[in-house]
Structure 1
């Protein structure tokens, strides 16, 4: 199996939660890990990733689809709608109607399309309306995957993600371990062997109540309050970030080396512009 893999989406596919300064935008993520394994299986594989954090469904379609489809991919991964679900108001029927229109466009390109459910976490009864949105979204994605004959990565069925170590400190994005596990699942669904080293987590030992209180305090101060402040100010992290891999690369050539080369090219352009000014 070989070809050109192109990813579109939001922070889920950009790789947020899997911090790595050696990669564009400071994150690695399951898609980069998967692409590297595709390159190991067949060095001719090419890869591009347009996913950017904070983006909603319509933004992903408007800002990423044209460039992604212009690359004539043979495989496309599409995850969108998570940020729409988290909005204060969300018309799920409208969201999924627009999701289907986007999906139809991807499928019509002739590429194989890979879809994802969102993980259905156990949450308090106070957030039950959010969980109902997640259930609606997942049921709709399953239906559309069958209707359009897409490959479905049913994330919510992988119950080991109930372990909090699969998640970053923000409790929204997967951790490095979580991204690794998801990459392994995707490769398994594609039938591609991999060399990913998946750590054995062992039983989770809950901290005592004092440590729990300290952790909750840090989480509120470092994650919840800044998030609410950004939303009130209309500021989003993704608004100033470029796509990680907008031009196709060959992962077999070494993704860290390719990232360094790209960073060097960008710096040279910046220095030339400064000199001309």
Structure 2
């Protein structure tokens, strides 16, 4: 039925066009009748064509929008990567500036190194650096950053070295309180803090006092910062105080270090 209707519509339309072009019909006769019959079909056909064009335009617009969205996502991802990379360079530059200022303030030879590994064991506090015997490093050299001391080298290979952190329980640094010159030993306890031991109960020790290296252990240069007093406890039955210190170095964020080679 649809095919017949479409055929009838086309036939009538062609007839009207032909007769109109030859002026064979009067405007008030068959032509008006044909126009009356074909107008609804022409209206429907034009609406269908218009709707179809709108659908196709919408479809292609959606396809183009999806492609453009994918391109923009890739460009945004690249922009974020570039911004993050620039931020990392900025932070690294700030850290290196601290190293340069620190080196220029002390007459010594340093070797800069990067931290490439950390000991995952909870029983040891060590790190691995990317410098070794090929760079003139030997066992026992102190490792520092601009904020304070990190530890000392305990093993050396051609291109790598292992550093024992001052927070390790096997570490000990001869130290003193900067203001009062009260002596003691900084011992690691495998935690984020250290202990300041062998300080007599009669000595005055208060929170926030700065603890520095004494230089008497012949490992760490005198005057370098170790940390600050965090808590002080005195037990009348004990000879020494129980002192906890907060290290000057944030070991969780340690990325670059300096190895102290020569103080001459």
* TM-score normalised according to structure 1 size: 0.23
Q: Give the number of the structure whose alpha-carbon radius of gyration is greater.
A: 2
Give the structure, 1 or 2, with the largest relative contact order (CA under 8 Å, sep 6 or more): 1
Between Structure 1 and Structure 2, the one with more helix by share is 1
* TM-score normalised according to structure 2 size: 0.24
Between Structure 1 and Structure 2, the one with more strand by share is 2
